[in-house]
Amino acid sequence: MDLIESLAVKSEQKILLVVIDGLGGLPMKDKTELESASIPHLNKLAGRAGLGLLTPVDVGVTPGSGPSHLALFGYDPVKYDVGRGVLEALGIGFHPEPFDLCARANYATTGPKGTLVDRRAGRLATERCTGLCELLQKEVKTIDDVQVVVRPGIGHRFVVVFQGPGLGDGLTDSDPQHNGLKPLPVEATGSGGAKSARVANRFIERAAELLAGQKDANFVLLRGLGLPPTIPSMRERFKLTPACVAAYPMYRGLAKLVGMDILETGSTWESELNTLRKHWGAYDFFFIHFKETDKAGEDGNFEAKQELIEHFDEEILPLLQALKPDVLCITGDHATPAVMGAHSWHEVPMLLDSVYVRPTDSREEFGERSCVRGTFGRLNSVKLMNLLLAHSLKLRKFGA
Amino acid sequence: MDLIESLAVKSEQKILLVVIDGLGGLPMKDKTELESASIPHLNKLAGRAGLGLLTPVDVGVTPGSGPSHLALFGYDPVKYDVGRGVLEALGIGFHPEPFDLCARANYATTGPKGTLVDRRAGRLATERCTGLCELLQKEVKTIDDVQVVVRPGIGHRFVVVFQGPGLGDGLTDSDPQHNGLKPLPVEATGSGGAKSARVANRFIERAAELLAGQKDANFVLLRGLGLPPTIPSMRERFKLTPACVAAYPMYRGLAKLVGMDILETGSTWESELNTLRKHWGAYDFFFIHFKETDKAGEDGNFEAKQELIEHFDEEILPLLQALKPDVLCITGDHATPAVMGAHSWHEVPMLLDSVYVRPTDSREEFGERSCVRGTFGRLNSVKLMNLLLAHSLKLRKFGA
C-alpha cells in the first residue's frame, strides 16, 4: 500500500476530471492551439483556479493513450503496462476479464511458398474484415478447452481473445515485420506461456485453412498477445466511487481497468455532458473525456484543434454552474501538437479549481506559458490524483 | 533496461552538448558572472531556445566533476560511482580497463619510528615527483602476476594502477589522515579484495625500500583504491554514436567511461572547435568541454570568469551557423561561484535549442534568473538526456 492509499478516506466532496485529449500543443506562429483559442470561460476559471504543467510519464517521453490515462487516474504507467492486444480489445469495446489473453490481429496475404506478400492484405475494407471475422468466429468457437472470441476492427485489423484455464503471458509476435518473410510461430518467452502459444498457433493454422480460398486475406498475423494487467481498483486504493463518461471505447476500457463504472453515453460531447448531469448524484469521482482535439492534432490541423477548444469552452460554463463540483480539473492526457501531427513529449496544461487552491499573482489565462508560472508548477501526471484527493479533503493527515 | 533505453532509436538528427565547466554562479554585487557578462549571441539564442535549471545530483548537493558529468551523459551519478583512484587515473590521461585497480597515491615523509611527519612530503615539485615515479616504475614492474603502472601527477601526487587477474574492489586507504600516526595497511572490506590488499601493501613496502634514501619523500600513501565502474555505453543505452571533444584528460576519461569516441584535440578552445568541425559528419552526439570558467571560479576571480563567458560567446555563433545542430544544449556541469571559490550545490543554467522547443513569454536573456522562469523548469541533470533524445526524435512512443 503506498502512502496516498494509506491516507485515503471517503468524503462528500465531488471531483470532476475533464480530459481534453492531446490538449498540449506547440506554436504555429507565436501561440499554441490553446493560446490561440478564444476561451473566455476557461480564462475566467484560470483567474481563480490553480495552474500547472503535467508530465505524462517522464521527461521527454511521448506516451500513448494507455499510459497517459492510467497516470491521470493515479496509476504508475510504467508499473501497470497495458499491452497492445489488451488496448486493441479495449478500443473495439471488448472488456477483457483478468485472465483473457488478448491479441491484436490482422489479415495478411501470403504467396504460394507461404511467405508474406502483403502484411496488411491490401488494407481491406472494414465490411470485408467484419465478414471474415464472422466466418472465423463461426468456425473456431473453441480450441481444446479455450473459448475463442473474434471481433472485427477497422480495415484489416481485428481482435482475438482466448478465454480458458492456464493461459499465461509472455509471448512473441507472429508478424515478422517485413514482407517477403514467412510468418513466425508464436513462442512463449517463459514457461507460463506454453499453452497460450500452442492455442495461438492452432488458431493461426485454423484461420489459414478457413481463409485458403480468399485471394488476398488468406492469412492472419497476431501481435501484442497478453493478459490485462492486474490493477487494484480506484475504489480500493482511493476509496472513491468513480464513474467514466467517454464516447470512445478505448477510454471506457481504460477506465474499466481501474474499476470505474462505465456510464452509457452517446457519441457526441453534448451527449457526454448530458450523461454526466444525469448521474451526478451517484458518484464522487467523474472522468469525462473530450476526444476530438487529439484527432485534429494528429491530422496536423492547427485551426481545427483551436476551434474544438473554443467549442469546449462554450459548453463548459453552464455545466459547471449546474453541477458545482468541489474539485474541478481540466487537463489533457498528453500533447498532440498540430505542427507535429502526432503525440509528443511536451508537458500538458492543467487547471485545478477548488476553494483550497492557493492563488498566484494575478489574473491568468489558460495556456501553456501561463501554466509554466502556475501555482502547482510541474508535476508528473501520476501525482495529479494526490492533488484531487487533497483538495476534496479525502486524505487524512500523515503522522501526528 | 530503463524506460529511456527501451525507447531509444537511431535518427539522423545531431545533438551538440556544450558544457561550460562551473557555469553556475552567485552575484558579486547584483548579478552572477553569467548575468554580468556581455553575451549578445547567447542572449539571442535564449530568445528562441528553451531555458531551465539543472540540479547536478540532488538538491543541496555539491558535486565533483565525475558525478556532474556522468549525470549530463544520462547516468545516475549515485549508482555509477567513480572512485577517487579511477578519477585520478583519468585525470592524468590513463584510461583504465574494466578490471584495473586504480589508486590515488602520494609521496609522504615518515620519521624514524615510522610515523608520518608530513603526509604530503613538503608538497614536492612535480619534476621531483616525476623522477621518483620513474624510479618506482623501473624497479617495480610486477608484483607476482600483477603488472604495476606508476604515473606521475602534479606535485606530490601520482597514480598507481595494478593490472592482473583476481583484483577485486572494496579496500581501505593507507592514509591515516593525520600526521603523527603510522600509515595503515590497506585492508579488504570484503572477500573479493584480499589479493588487491596484498598486492597494494607489497607495493607500499617495495616503495618504502626504494625511497629509503630520500630525505622527505621516503614513503607512499594509497587512497581511493578501486576498479572502474561497469557502465553500459551510450551506444548500447541510447543508440547514439557519441564523440567527445575535451582538452583536459579527466573529461576525456569520463567520456571514455561511457563509451564515447575521444577525438584528438589541442589544448585551446579554438582547437576544440576545429576538432568539432572536422568530425561533425561522423557522429550524432557531441560533447564539447569548455574548462577555463571553472578554474576562474575556483580562483575566486569573478571578473575572469565573466570574461571567459564573453570569450565563449564570441566564438559560439560562427560555429553554430556552420554546423547547425538539430539539438543544441549549452549548460554547465555544476556551479562554481567565484564568491565561494569552489564548486557549489547551486543549480546550473541550461539552454536547449531545437524546432520542437515550446517557447515561453518573450525575449529572454541567458542567466540564472531567466532560467528560473524557463520552459523546462527545474530538472535533474540525469534527465537532460531524455530531453536531448526527445528533441532529436530519438525516442519511440511509450505504449499505445
Q: Who contacts B7 (Cβ-Cβ below 8 Å, separation ≥6)? A: A61, B395, B396, B397, B398
pLDDT(A171) > 80: yes
Pairing verdict, β B146-152 and B157-163? antiparallel
Which percentage of chain B shows pLDDT scores above 70?
Answer: 99
Instruction: List, for residues A262-284, the tens digit of each pLDDT value.
Output: 999 999 999 999 999 999 999 99
Residue A144 and residue A196: Cα distance in Å, rounded?
A: 12
Q: Are A5 and A396 in contact (CB under 8 A)?
A: no
Residue A279: what pLDDT?
A: 98
Q: How far is the CA of B4 from the CAs of A342, B171, B353, in angstroms? A: 19, 34, 21
**B257: distance to nearest CA of chain A, Å?**
25
| Span A88-98, average pLDDT | 90
What value, to the nearest 5°, has the Cα angle with vertex B96 and ends B93 and B98? 155
**A338: distance to nearest CA of chain B, Å?**
12
Nearest CB partner across the interface for B359, out of A27, A58, A373? A27
Residue B361: what pLDDT?
A: 62
Q: How far is the CA of A318 from the CAs of A93, A313, A314, in angstroms? A: 31, 10, 8
Residue B247: what pLDDT?
A: 92
Take residue A143 and report the three cell numbers written for it.
Answer: 480450441
**CB atoms inside a 10 Å sphere around CB B237:** 21
Report CA torsion sign: A9, A13, A19, A24: negative
**A267: distance to nearest CA of chain B, Å?**
22
Half-sphere exposure of A293 (CA within 13 A, CB side): 29
Comparing alpha-carbon positions, the chain A residue that sits nearest to B378 is A378
Q: How far is the CA of A93 from the CAs of A86, A90, A249, A273, in angstroms? A: 11, 5, 5, 21
Residue A325 and residue A251: Cα distance in Å, rounded?
A: 22
**CB atoms inside a 10 Å sphere around CB B323:** 15
Q: Does B3 touch chain A (CB under 8 A)?
A: yes
**Bigger pLDDT: A310 vs B248:** A310
Take residue B107 and report the three cell numbers written for it.
Answer: 609521496
Residue B8 per-residue DSSP state: B
3-state secondary structure of B192: helix
Q: Are A116 and A176 in contact (CB under 8 A)?
A: yes
Q: Who contacts B315 (Cβ-Cβ below 8 Å, separation ≥6)? A: B269, B270, B273
- One-letter amino acid for residue B230 of the chain: T
Q: Does B359 touch chain A (CB under 8 A)?
A: yes
* Separation of first and last alpha carbons in chain B: 20
- One-letter amino acid for residue A345 of the chain: W
Q: Who contacts B303 (Cβ-Cβ below 8 Å, separation ≥6)? A: none
Average pLDDT over all residues of chain B: 95
Which percentage of chain B shows pLDDT scores above 90?
Answer: 90
Report CA torsion sign: A139, A141, A146, A149: positive
**A113: distance to nearest CA of chain B, Å?**
33
Nearest CB partner across the interface for B387, out of A30, A59, A88? A59
**How many beta-carbon pairs under 8 angstroms link A with B?**
84
Q: Which of A32, A58, A371 is the best mutation test for B, with the most CBs of B within 10 A?
A: A58
pLDDT(A166) > 70: yes
Nearest CB partner across the interface for A66, out of B359, B373, B399? B399
Q: Does A31 touch chain B (CB under 8 A)?
A: no
**B209: distance to nearest CA of chain A, Å?**
57
For the sheet with B50-55, list strands across it. Answer: B261-262, B242-245, B285-290, B15-20, B327-331, B348-353, B50-55, B377-380
Comparing alpha-carbon positions, the chain A residue that sits nearest to B382 is A59
pLDDT(B196) > 80: yes
pLDDT(A360) > 80: no
Q: Does A229 touch chain B (CB under 8 A)?
A: no
Q: Which residue, chain included where needed, has cell 480564462?
A: A43
Instruction: List, for residues B338-365, the tens digit of each pLDDT value.
Output: 999 999 999 999 999 999 999 876 567 9
Residue B360: what pLDDT?
A: 78
Kindly list the residues from chain B whose CB atom is less than 8 angstroms away from the CB atom of residue A223: none
Give me the torsion for CA of A164, A169, A170, A171, rounded to 10°. 30
Q: Are A107 and A254 in contact (CB under 8 A)?
A: no
DSSP β-bridge partners for residue A103: A160
Residue B3 and residue A79: Cα distance in Å, rounded?
A: 11
Give me the torsion for CA of B226, B232, B235, B240, rounded to 10°. -90
Instruction: List, for residues B207-216, the tens digit of each pLDDT value.
Output: 999 999 998 9
Instruction: List, for residues B292-327, the tens digit of each pLDDT value.
Output: 999 999 999 999 999 999 999 999 999 999 999 999
Take residue A109 and report the three cell numbers written for it.
Answer: 496475404
Residue A364: what pLDDT?
A: 79
Which percentage of chain A shows pLDDT scores above 70?
Answer: 99
Strands (E), chain B: 15-20, 50-55, 101-110, 116-118, 142-143, 146-152, 157-163, 219-226, 242-245, 261-262, 285-290, 327-331, 348-353, 377-380
Host H or E run for residue B7 = helix B3-7
Query: Buried (b) or exposed (e) across B120-147, using 16+ Cβ within 10 A?
Result: bbbebeeebbeebbeebbeebeebeebe
- One-letter amino acid for residue B138 of the chain: K
Query: Buried (b) or exposed (e) across A319-340, using 16+ Cβ within 10 A?
Result: bbeeeebbbbbbbbbbbbbbbb
How far is C-alpha B62 from the geometric centre of its chain's CA atoms? 14
Host H or E run for residue B332 = none
| Span A299-326, average pLDDT | 96
The length of chain A, given as a count of residues: 400
Q: Which of residues 315-354 of A touch B (CB under 8 A)?
A: 340, 343-347
Residue A204 and residue A212: Cα distance in Å, rounded?
A: 12
Instruction: List, for residues B104-127, the tens digit of each pLDDT value.
Output: 999 999 998 999 999 999 989 999
Kindly list the residues from chain A whose CB atom is less than 8 angstroms away from the CB atom of residue B373: 372-373
Q: Does A57 touch chain B (CB under 8 A)?
A: yes
Confidence of residue A361 (pLDDT cuts 50, 70, 90): low
Average pLDDT over all residues of chain A: 95
Residue B190: what pLDDT?
A: 86
Please tell me the pTM assigned to this model: 0.91
Alpha helices in B32-156 (DSSP H): 33-36, 40-48, 65-72, 84-91, 126-139
**CB atoms inside a 10 Å sphere around CB A318:** 12
3-state secondary structure of B274: helix
**CB atoms inside a 10 Å sphere around CB B280:** 17
DSSP β-bridge partners for residue A162: A101, A148
Q: SS3 string of chain A?
A: CCHHHHHECCCCCCEEEEEECCEECCCCCCCCHHHHCCCHHHHHHHHHCEEEEEECCCCCCCECHHHHHHHHCCCCCCCCCCCHHHHHHHHCCCCCCCCCEEEEEEEEEECCCCCEEECCCCCCCHHHHHHHHHHHHHHCCEECCEEEEEEECCCCEEEEEEECCCCCCCECCCCCCCCCCCCCCCCECCHHHHHHHHHHHHHHHHHHHHCCCCCCCCEEEEEEEECCCCCCCHHHHHCCCEEEECCCHHHHHHHHHCCCEECCCCCCHHHHHHHHHHHHHHCCEEEEEECHHHHHHHCCCHHHHHHHHHHHHHHHHHHHHHHCCCEEEEECCCECCCCCCCCECCCEEEEEECCCCCCCCCCCCCCHHHHHCCCCEEEEHHHHHHHHHHHCCCECCCCC
Residue A215: what pLDDT?
A: 87
Residue B364: what pLDDT?
A: 79
Host H or E run for residue B305 = helix B302-323
Residue in B347, B310, B333, B156 with CA at minimum distance from that of residue B251: B333
Nearest CB partner across the interface for B383, out of A59, A81, A344? A59
Residue A225 and residue A193: Cα distance in Å, rounded?
A: 10
| Span A181-210, average pLDDT | 95
DSSP codes, B200-243 = HHHHHHHHHHHTTT-SS--EEEEEEEEPPP----HHHHH---EE
Residue B76: what pLDDT?
A: 97
The interface predicted TM-score of the complex, written ipTM, equals 0.89
Residue A357: what pLDDT?
A: 95
> CB–CB of B3 and A58 under 8 A?
yes
Take residue B236 and report the three cell numbers written for it.
Answer: 548500447
Least confident of A133-142, A235-244, B18-27, B248-257: B248-257
**B74: distance to nearest CA of chain A, Å?**
12
Residue A304 and residue A298: Cα distance in Å, rounded?
A: 11
- One-letter amino acid for residue A256 of the chain: K
Residue B386 per-residue DSSP state: H
Residue A362: what pLDDT?
A: 58
Take residue A269 and report the three cell numbers written for it.
Answer: 460531447
Q: Does B1 touch chain A (CB under 8 A)?
A: no
Residue B162 and residue A23: Cα distance in Å, rounded?
A: 58
Q: Specify burial of residue A132 (Cβ count, 10 A radius: 0-12, 13-18, 19+).
A: buried
